[in-house]
Amino acid sequence: MLQLHIKNETSKLKAVVLGTAKSNGPDPKAEECYDPKSRQHVIEGTYPKEDDMMLEMEALAAVFNKYDVTVFRPKVIQNYNQIFSRDIAFVIDDKLIKANILPHREQEYLAIQHVTNQINPKNIIELPKECHIEGGDVVPCNDYIFVGTYSEKDYPNYITARTNKSAVLVLQQFFPHKKVKSFELRKHNTDPKENALHLDCCFQPIGKNKAILHKNGFLIEDEYIWLVQYFGKENIFEITKQEMYDMNSNIFSISEEVVISEKNFTRLNSWLRNQGFIVEEVPYSEIAKQEGLLRCSTLPLARE
């Protein structure tokens, strides 16, 4: 059996599901895109090519290999985007929660059945239908579970609003011993610089007590201030609107000392090294065109 164990984002990684760019399918039409950044690249004719994305994902797989991480890959579905495994499920403690995602993405979860079959069925949680949630909005942080949400009345109008209040309330019921804290995110269907698709697009804990943050991703300033006070101003790397657009907060931790980052994130990477981190740089700028980066394409199953 596969033993799940996730308390936070930064303990030493032991097992992960990494998405795949194989047989990614034809470029979508602008009106078929789930997010404003993909839409922008479709319109501009710069949507990423399958071969380029496969190379980027193999570079990431090579880093996992270097650090002896067990890597699972989804079963390849022909002509289908399976890059972002974080969307389809997430692990908290010893439980795997199946995400309630956009209905036409259900196949992505079925493609990791060879992994979920190794988990004790008692440890797999399926949420009620009215709970909308994706893994990119859920950031476990020891005693806390941080959740990005959008609870305004116009929620149905936003294809970029992926996690609702019902899901936040149900998570609290499943994990009564944790503090579930939600954050209202800024949503925009057409302007990628004004849209925080998930919480991990504007926030991520790193190391023992540090975090990457983007103030404008949060709708309510007091919620952003709470995070600044929780981590301490001196421990925070505040990213610009352009850096959020480039996905600087969506790096991925192998441990408290080692992070994987995109090679073009020069300002972030030099700050990380100055803070004592080992930074494993990979090319990931093509995948970033779909408004997702390293954290989005990984589903951690076990950390120490």
What's residue 152's pLDDT? Answer: 80
Are 78 and 139 contacting, i.e. CB atoms less than 8 angstroms apart? Answer: no
**pLDDT band at 299; cut points 50, 70, 90:** very high
| Mean pLDDT across 127-149 | 94
Strands 203-206 and 210-213: antiparallel
**pLDDT band at 150; cut points 50, 70, 90:** confident
Q: How far apart are CA 97 and CA 131, in angstroms?
A: 12
| Mean pLDDT across 220-239 | 97
**Number of residues written out for the chain:** 304
**pLDDT band at 34; cut points 50, 70, 90:** confident
What's residue 197's pLDDT? Answer: 81
**pLDDT band at 290; cut points 50, 70, 90:** confident
Q: pLDDT tens, 167-215?
A: 999 999 999 999 999 999 998 877 777 777 899 999 999 999 999 999 9
Q: pLDDT tens, 186-197?
A: 988 777 777 778
What's residue 177's pLDDT? Answer: 97
User: What letter represents residue 71's amino acid?
Assistant: V
What's residue 27's pLDDT? Answer: 86
What's residue 210's pLDDT? Answer: 98
**pLDDT band at 155; cut points 50, 70, 90:** low
What's residue 33's pLDDT? Answer: 77
pLDDT of residue 105 exceeding 90, the answer is no
The percentage of residues in the chain with a pLDDT greater than 70, rounded to a whole number, is 97
| Mean pLDDT across 238-250 | 95
Domains of the chain, by residue range, sit at 13-303
End-to-end CA distance of the chain: 17
Q: pLDDT tens, 45-96?
A: 889 899 999 999 999 999 999 999 999 999 999 999 999 999 999 999 999 9
pLDDT of residue 156 exceeding 70, the answer is no
pLDDT of residue 35 exceeding 80, the answer is no
Select the CATH number that applies to the domain covering 13-303 from these four: 3.20.20.30, 3.90.660.10, 3.75.10.10, 1.10.600.10. 3.75.10.10
| Mean pLDDT across 255-273 | 98
User: What letter represents residue 270's amino acid?
Assistant: S
